[in-house]
Structure 1
Amino acid sequence: MHGHRRAYVRTGSGPALLLLHGLGCDHTTWEPVIDALARRYTVIAPDLLGHGLSDKPRADYSVGGYANGMRDLVTYLGIDKVTVLGHSFGGGVAMQFAYQFPERTERLVLVASGGLGPEVTPAIRAITTPGFHQVLGLLTLPGVRHVGRAGLRALSRTGLRATHDLDEVAEIYDSFKDPAARAAIRHVVRAVVDWRGQIVTMADRAYLTEAMPMAVIWGRDDRVIPVRHASNAAALAPGARVEVIADAGHFPHKDHPQRFAKLVHEFIRSTEPATYSRARFRRLLRAGGEAAPVRAVRSVPDVSDVTA
């Protein structure tokens, strides 16, 4: 598509569910839940450009560019409307997709999503620093990479909250052995993060979610994007359904796949798909433009208040 290879999984039947993975991951991050979801839905799980088996060209790696690519992919597959579900960076793409293409979006599900506050782990901010590409090139040399990956996996098995997600981090680290993958990730991160944290936010457009069912799912022990961002979502979009899963980190769909799939299904089953109305969208835009824009959200309810 557009001269570049796009890898994706398509399985199941029923209403379409588009699954968007996070930074440095690929469609395999969804493997624990794909079969359960495919019993009721047509599941589309792509490798975003620059990730997995998709090509890694010099290209537009902005969230808007990714949203355009997902619009083109579902159109290519003959699908008109989707419930879009995004994890981490993929959550930012999902929000952008819903914003750019509300007529194609039935619901929005955000999983430990970016775009809900400025804070992010220093490891991701480090990607934007000069020399990152060269340093990571040394750290992913065969011997060094194998030792590093084994160490991360060993730490992930300690049971400590701080090391909860290191098995997944080990897989991301291993993928950086490909220079094209490292270059693509650097372009992605620079589009959404600087040394102070996340740049892209839904705060100034959150009022538009009034027209679309939205769910937010987070792991209580997330060390990549703080779980308090789930409370930010509740403050920014009061109509959103927020679920915080205990004993889960940045990848709740991998830590508790059965519960995760059940939460997604219950959300879809209990909500009507959004129907796009240009007149209603115009009214929301005019009303939102008259109100003071929402700035940084910090004084929000404790996350326990929005735990189901």
Structure 2
Amino acid sequence: MPLTTTEVASSQRERENMTSTINPIVNHTLRANGIRQHYLDSGSGPVVVLLHGFPETSFAWRFQIPVLANKFRVIAPDLRGYGETDKPASGYDKRNMAQDLIALLDELGIDKIALIGHDRGARVATRFAKDHPQRLDRLVVMDNVPTRVVAQNMNAQTARAYWFFLFHLVPDLPEALINGKEAEWLHYFFADWCYNPHAIEGTDFDTYVKAYKCPGAVRGAMSDYRANAEDVKQDLVDADTKIACPTMAIWGEDFYTVGGMFDMRTVWEGMATHLRAEPIAQCGHLPQEEQPERVNTLLLDFLGTWKG
């Protein structure tokens, strides 16, 4: 049933409240692990790090940062190859991207964190959890099937659903075809991947288009995918090592390539020792943008005992 005008207005007010905060969101850059990294910083207290996915940037967390910053110091970097962070020719395997975060934290004098990753950011977060368990108190992974699990379940059906994985692996061709068509390219993903195909429109959509029109931005995102073979190789080495810290897996029930194709509870029970599983109804691939109120409630509850 369509929302009434009153319901739409009420929802809009709730989202506006989420983006208004007494804690300013400050843009910073610093050099760490050999690249210039851009990150958003807001609030004070125990540190919570947010890692975005594809096809997004740190802008994806605009509904979470103001809410979380009331209790925590929130840091949201642009991953290597994305947004305002450098887009070098190499270094996109998830072990090195996790090292990007370690270097960023070291520069900021931060030891232990709570880590939240969505999509590609969840792949970085998973590698971070396995490579640097001493730096992690708790982990949230959002709408992500681990790289190794996707590879091990690749068949004709999976390949059709994950066609973009394969397309992005082709050298140079995606960049050539997407150049000048960034808006059309992004609109396809946002409309297809969201339960409500109009979830990301207007100035929010324009912000993403602007980011991907920047020199090297599409190539950076493609490079993230082109590290797939190395990522799988890394993941196979410690496949039997479970993530030890408390872990919450969140996913949209209505995204066909994740909740629609995989038993996500079982998948993440195979990845983490202490798992909390939280599917979100009427939600696609971008829970933090599609259902921000529900996501924020889950995050605040899960992070509630994080004291730094």
TM-score (norm. length: structure 2): 0.73
Cα shift at 1:172 = 5.6
Check 1:258–1:128 CA distance in 2 against 1; reply closer, same or farther (3 A cut): same
Which residue of structure 1 aligns with residue 100 of structure 2? 69
SS at the partner of 1:18?
A: strand
Deviations, residues 216-272 of structure 1 (Å, cap 9, x unaligned): 000111245345252211344363000000011111111111221111121122579
Deviations, residues 117-160 of structure 1 (Å, cap 9, x unaligned): 21562123211124523xx434332xx445x269649x93x998
Check 1:193–1:159 CA distance in 2 against 1; reply closer, same or farther (3 A cut): closer
Q: Please, which of 208, 220, 226 is the counterpart of residue 253 of structure 2?
A: 220
Which residue of structure 1 aligns with residue 3 of structure 2? none
Which consecutive residues of structure 2, in runs of 5 or more, have no partner in the other structure?
A: 1-30, 151-157
Q: Is the 8 A contact 1:165 1:251 kept in 2?
A: no
Which consecutive residues of structure 1, in runs of 5 or more, have no partner in the other structure?
A: 274-308
Instruction: Work out the CA distance in 2 between the residues paired with 1:250 and 1:6.
Output: 26
Instruction: Work out the CA distance in 1 between the residues paired with 2:110 and 2:306.
Output: 20
Deviations, residues 268-294 of structure 1 (Å, cap 9, x unaligned): 225798xxxxxxxxxxxxxxxxxxxxx
Which residue of structure 2 aligns with residue 33 of structure 1? 64
Instruction: Work out the CA distance in 2 between the residues paired with 1:16 and 1:212.
Output: 16
Q: Is the 8 A contact 2:245 2:273 kept in 1?
A: no
Q: Please, which of 239, 242, 248 is the counterpart of residue 208 of structure 1?
A: 242
Which residue of structure 2 aligns with residue 301 of structure 1? none
Q: Is the 8 A contact 1:165 1:249 kept in 2?
A: no
Q: Is the 8 A contact 2:194 2:285 kept in 1?
A: no
Which residue of structure 1 aligns with residue 19 of structure 2? none
Cα shift at 1:32 = 1.1
Which residue of structure 1 aligns with residue 227 of structure 2? 191
Instruction: Work out the CA distance in 1 between the residues paired with 2:66 and 2:226.
Output: 34
- Answer yes or no: is 1:121 the counterpart of 2:152: no
Cα shift at 1:98 = 1.1
Which residue of structure 2 aligns with residue 140 of structure 1? 179
Check 1:79–1:60 CA distance in 2 against 1; reply closer, same or farther (3 A cut): same
Cα shift at 1:205 = 3.4
Which residue of structure 2 aligns with residue 233 of structure 1? 268
Cα shift at 1:108 = 0.9
Q: Is the 8 A contact 2:251 2:259 kept in 1?
A: no
Amino acid in structure 2 at the alignment position of 1:61: Y
- Answer yes or no: is 1:262 the counterpart of 2:297: yes
Cα shift at 1:206 = 5.5
**Percent identity between the aligned chains?**
28
Check 1:52–1:35 CA distance in 2 against 1; reply closer, same or farther (3 A cut): same
Amino acid in structure 2 at the alignment position of 1:216: A
Instruction: Work out the CA distance in 2 between the residues paired with 1:103 and 1:94.
Output: 14
| Aligned length, in residue pairs | 263
- Answer yes or no: is 1:181 the counterpart of 2:217: yes
Cα shift at 1:162 = 8.4
Check 1:166–1:199 CA distance in 2 against 1; reply closer, same or farther (3 A cut): farther
Instruction: Work out the CA distance in 2 between the residues paired with 1:178 and 1:244.
Output: 35
Instruction: Work out the CA distance in 2 between the residues paired with 1:69 and 1:169.
Output: 27
Deviations, residues 25-59 of structure 1 (Å, cap 9, x unaligned): 21100001111111111100000111101111223
Instruction: Work out the CA distance in 1 between the residues paired with 2:236 and 2:69.
Output: 30
Check 1:229–1:186 CA distance in 2 against 1; reply closer, same or farther (3 A cut): farther
Check 1:271–1:79 CA distance in 2 against 1; reply closer, same or farther (3 A cut): closer
For residues 1-308 of structure 1, the aligned pairs below 5 Å read 1-2=31-32, 3-115=34-146, 117-118=149-150, 119=158, 121-133=162-174, 136-141=175-180, 144-146=181-183, 148=184, 152=188, 156=191, 161=195, 163=197, 175-192=211-228, 201=235, 205=239, 207-209=241-243, 211-227=244-260, 228-231=262-265, 232-237=267-272, 239-269=274-304
Instruction: Work out the CA distance in 2 between the residues paired with 1:58 and 1:160.
Output: 31
Cα shift at 1:200 = 6.5
